[in-house]
Amino acid sequence: MALLNENYLKLKAGYLFPEIARRVKTFCAEKPEAAGRLIRCGIGDVTEPLPAAVIQAMHKAVDEMGVRNTFKGYGPEQGYDWLRQVIAQNDYRQRGLDVADDEIFVSDGSKCDCGAILDILGDRNKIAISDPVYPVYVDTNVMAGHTGVANEDGRYGRLVYLPCRPANGFVPEPPSKPVDVVYLCSPNNPTGAVATRAQLEAWVQYALKHQAIILFDAAYEAYIQDPALPHSIYEIPGARECAIEFRSFSKNGGFTGLRCAFTVVPKSLMARTRGGESQPLHPLWNRRSATKFNGVSYVVQRAAEALYTEEGKRQVSDLVKHYMGNAVVLRQGAKKAGLKAYGGENAPYIWVRTPKGMTSWQVFDKILGEANVVITPGSGFGSKGEGFFRISAFNSRENAEEVARRLKELAW
């Protein structure tokens, strides 16, 4: 009989979102009269339709695919040159950041890339993650066999957990001990916190000192409102020697269902062999992409390109304004309800303290049962998320306003 990958058996059962779905389903079955007024502020998925510029570009690309002369078969695995160039130019070089076209790798999503990057890293690295955290960073490391088993808190052996609490503004500090790889997500899912320039400088200093690699997830950079906050890790001197950046069109362009993202691997980023020899990672990632991936569809890459036109940029900015308007409404709603709310100022997530020492799941059940609103329990993102819950601003304005009203009416 074939052997299976036993690392998968270490994964905690009852993953967050299936458990939420189960409780919502039970609620709707028991209270069909309340099910009709249910509002979902749980999963972080966009709700608004794609920008007009994207739809137009896709129609045109589809027509090209239907004509022999303009038909496209396999494209370059790393993405079409015209897209890599427009990304490097607009997101980096126009902002004074040194990123070359061929350091951009177009993919079908940051979630996949966050997992896939482990392919080119060794399996003896000491890995640090925030607590609470986007579960993908943890689970992909479990699957790759980089961790021990989980304890009763759900924490895995061999991972270094960096607590994110009100005291540090939910931005992790570099640990006292050296690690080899660290995941940073800013603006943060789930806490909505954003690392300042000084905080990222401290991380880059730490990484250079310990020859560590920062895996920087900037999926929400478009939501930054404060002009002093960095959008890219490459705004920090030295980051080209220690950081990989993940970006996605999911949250700015509303591409969650369309699928397109990119990863930046600087050619100056090195890692070492077990023999101690320093080698660049760029050729490894290039080789991995060419071997395990056949590129994003032509139509979708044209859609992504359209986000960088004048019209596309305006439409992205309108989408971000819409969701950030919701975030203001929800954050104020939580505050007026007497709750302590964080985030929601440079990110589409509001991170709320549970009142009266209630657990995250107790608050989930109460808000579902009494306000008929689905939130996300903070404990699902890690043990330090216990005592918090996340409200997503991805919704219609009408729903955001209704959620704010219902939160105020709750008696704790």
Ligand X SMILES: *Cc1c(COP(=O)(O)O)cnc(C)c1O
Q: Considering the complex, what minimum distance in angstroms separates the CB of residue 311 from ligand X?
A: 23
The one segment of 105-113, 156-164, 229-237, 386-394 that binds ligand X by CB under 6 A? 105-113
- CA distance to 217, 276, 287, 402, per residue, from 327 (Å): 21, 48, 41, 13
Return the SS3 of 348: coil
Segment interacting with ligand X, rule: CB under 6 A, options 46-54, 245-253, 330-338, 404-412: 245-253
Residue 187, interface with ligand X (CB under 6 A)? no
Q: How far is the CB of 133 from ligand X (least distance, A)?
A: 9
* Count of residues that bind ligand X according to CB under 6 A: 14
| 350: contact with ligand X by CB under 6 A | no
Residue 256 binding ligand X, by CB under 6 A: yes
Distance from CA of residue 338 to its chain's centroid? 29
Q: Which of residues 34-93 bind ligand X (CB under 6 A)?
A: 44
Give yes or no for residue 251 binding ligand X (CB under 6 A): yes
Q: Report the amino acid identity of residue 279.
A: Q
The answer to whether 372 contacts ligand X (rule: CB under 6 A) is: no
Asked if 190 and 164 touch (Cβ cutoff 8 Å), the reply is: no
Burial of 7 (0-12, 13-18, 19+ CB in 10 A): middle
Give me the least distance between CB of 93 and ligand X, in Å please. Answer: 23
Dihedral angle over CA of 281, 204, 253, 45, nearest 10: 100
d(CA 212, CA 342): 30
Question: Does position 289 bind ligand X by CB under 6 A?
Answer: no
237's CB contacts (< 8 A; 6+ apart) are: 204
Measured between alpha carbons, how far is residue 46 from residues 187, 191, 306, 393, 410 in Å? 16, 17, 19, 9, 26
Q: Which is nearer to ligand X, 110 or 289 (CB)?
A: 110
The correct pick among 261, 269, 347, 350 for binding ligand X (CB under 6 A) is: 261
Which CB atom, from 146 or from 251, has the smaller least distance to ligand X?
Answer: 251
253 binds ligand X (CB under 6 A): no
CB of residue 220 to ligand X, shortest distance in Å: 7
Cα 227 to its chain centre, rounded Å, is 21
- Closest distance of CB 207 from ligand X, Å: 20
Cis peptide before 166 (omega within 30 of 0): no
Q: How far apart are CA 289 and CA 268, in angstroms?
A: 19
Q: Is 248 in the site for ligand X (CB under 6 A)?
A: yes
Sequence-distant (≥ 6) Cβ neighbours of residue 287 within 8 angstroms:
none
Binding status of residue 189 toward ligand X by CB under 6 A: yes
Q: Does 252 participate in binding ligand X (rule CB under 6 A)?
A: no
Give the separation between CA 86 and CA 94, rounded to whole angstroms.
Answer: 10
- Residue 331 in the binding site for ligand X (CB under 6 A): no
> Binder to ligand X among 91, 217, 221, 345 (CB under 6 A)?
217
Binding site for ligand X (CB under 6 A): 44, 109-111, 134, 185, 189, 217, 219, 248, 250-251, 256, 261
